[in-house]
Amino acid sequence: MKATTLIGIVVATTLATGCASMRIGTYVARDTDFSKYQTYAWTTADALPVGDPRLDHNPILVDYLQGAVERGLHKHELLLVPPSAHPDLLLHFHGSVRQVVSVAGASRAHEHGASEDVEVVTYDEGTLVIDMVDARDGRLVWRGWAIDSVEGIVESQDQMKRKVNEAVARLLANFDEQ
């Protein structure tokens, strides 16, 4: 195997794994006292398309997501109630998918000087956003977002479930301690 081929494989592998690391972020409204919240309910599902027709209004994805959030909030002693029970928090989520092109260069020595190989990796990146709104005043009190590659989640429900569980667990790990 030529050194340039090996370098290309290493760069492509590094890019693919670098692109696959999940990025997590949260926002907490100033002066939010999570101890006053005891119940929550889901609001109407988002009517916006995800950006990938295979995931738009996908009931399996919605089921995995809601189940993961409900398990996570149960750990924080929040109780799921129907919207008619006047919950303390209203939850909403939205997902989107976009294609990302990542370009990187790898320098290599050449007998006539250095040259640069360019590697291009294209992948689908998904963003999940979960909002918690104070039901009394309509104020957004918490937002969490996770961004990661969604390669393989349409073809494998196990992969979809794993990604959703990981994202939600990381988002909710310390949400009431912020």
CATH number where 52 lies: 3.30.160.670
Q: Which domain holds residue 65?
A: 3-177
* Beta strands in the chain, from DSSP E residues, in sequence order: 23-28, 39-42, 79-80, 89-110, 113-134, 140-149
How many domains, in total, are found in the chain? 1
Report the b/e string of 154-168 with b at 16+ CB within 10 A.
beeeeebbebbbebb
The predicted-structure confidence for 60-79, as pLDDT tens digits, reads as follows 888 999 999 999 999 999 99
The predicted-structure confidence for 31-66, as pLDDT tens digits, reads as follows 999 999 999 999 987 666 777 777 777 888 889 999
pLDDT-derived band of residue 102, with 50, 70 and 90 as boundaries? confident
